[in-house]
Amino acid sequence: MQPKSTVVLTDKEELIPLLQRNIELNNAPNAKVQRLDWNTDSTDFEPDVILVSDGIFASDLHQPLADVLHRVAGAKTRVLLAYESRVFSDEVNFFALWSQHFTFHDIKPADQHPVMRSEDIFVFEGRRK
């Protein structure tokens, strides 16, 4: 039986072996890895979902992340952004950048999995304008 979806894990070139090892350890035949440099790369496909996990921890990554989301997300792509709040003023700056090409809303804790939600983790869903 073939998997119904493909999961593409992306990161910088030097982390590709680690991603590949995680796929092997988790026996995930529907997963593959691809280099994605936020400053320069794009993808050769339009993802259904992009999951950004703790991607806004460093303010110098905000512009590259907003740019790569714009380049990679298609009209139907759902972007899920989860992060631990650290510096509110920095986070506001990222959302100002993201809002240039995306609409988004927060996913309230009551709508999150009861075991997985946390008071210091925030989740947003976005789509291209």
DSSP string, 12-65: -GGGHHHHHHHHHHTT-TTEEEEE--TTT---SS--SEEEEESTTSSGGGHHHH
> 104 Cβ partners below 8 Å, 6+ apart?
79, 81, 95, 98, 124, 125, 126, 127
C-alpha distance across the termini of the chain, in Å: 37
| pLDDT category of residue 1 using cuts at 50, 70 and 90 | low
> What pLDDT sits at residue 21?
96
* Averaged pLDDT for residues 26-44: 91
- pLDDT tens figures, 4-15: 788 999 999 999
> 26 Cβ partners below 8 Å, 6+ apart?
none
> 1 Cβ partners below 8 Å, 6+ apart?
none
| pLDDT category of residue 42 using cuts at 50, 70 and 90 | confident
- pLDDT tens figures, 55-103: 999 999 999 999 999 999 999 999 999 999 998 999 999 999 999 999 9
| pLDDT category of residue 49 using cuts at 50, 70 and 90 | very high
Residue 121 has pLDDT above 60, yes or no: yes
What is the percentage of the chain residues whose pLDDT exceeds 70? 98
